[in-house]
């Protein structure tokens, strides 16, 4: 309940939208399968983000392929969940999150290889 209130206060979820039964256990299973931030690789302050928000399409609230693990730990100085999941505003959804994560990981990998060389 506290978490839910926090979500509403931070405007992550509009008030009055109920979470589907089974969301909590699905979330737990998802974090077990994907325990790292897809963007920065961090292990803390993880959120299971909905690519299509559950208040926009409730039928996809529990869809495994609609989920992605993103963190709020600011490991690289930014909130991965807020910036990549929501383009800086929790009221927005970023429909290109998969592509952005893909390219970020790719460029990061290339940069790290260069650093190591």
Contacts with Zn ion by CB under 5 A lie at: 37, 39-40, 42, 49, 71, 80, 85
Nearest Cα to Cα of residue 66 among 42, 111, 98: 98
Residue closer to Zn ion, measured from CB, 1 or 52: 52
The CB-of-96 to Zn ion minimum distance in angstroms stands at 14
Residue closer to Zn ion, measured from CB, 10 or 59: 10
Q: What are the tokens at 12?
A: 């992550």
The CB-of-117 to Zn ion minimum distance in angstroms stands at 25
d(CA 71, CA 73): 6
The CB-of-21 to Zn ion minimum distance in angstroms stands at 20
Cβ atoms of 70 and 47 closer than 8 Å: yes
Residue closer to Zn ion, measured from CB, 58 or 117: 58
d(CA 117, CA 23): 45
């Amino acid at each position: 309940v506290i978490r839910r209130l926090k979500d509403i206060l931070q405007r992550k979820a509009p008030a009055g939208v109920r979470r589907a039964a089974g969301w909590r256990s699905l979330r737990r299973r998802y974090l077990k399968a994907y325990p790292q931030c897809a963007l920065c690789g961090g292990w803390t302050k993880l959120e299971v983000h909905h690519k299509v928000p559950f208040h926009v399409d409730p039928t996809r609230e529990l869809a495994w392929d609609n989920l992605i693990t993103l963190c709020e730990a600011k490991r690289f100085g930014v909130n991965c969940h807020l910036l990549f999941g929501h383009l800086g505003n929790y009221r927005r959804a970023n429909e290109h999150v998969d592509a952005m994560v893909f390219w970020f990981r790719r460029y990061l990998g290339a940069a790290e290889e260069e650093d190591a060389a």
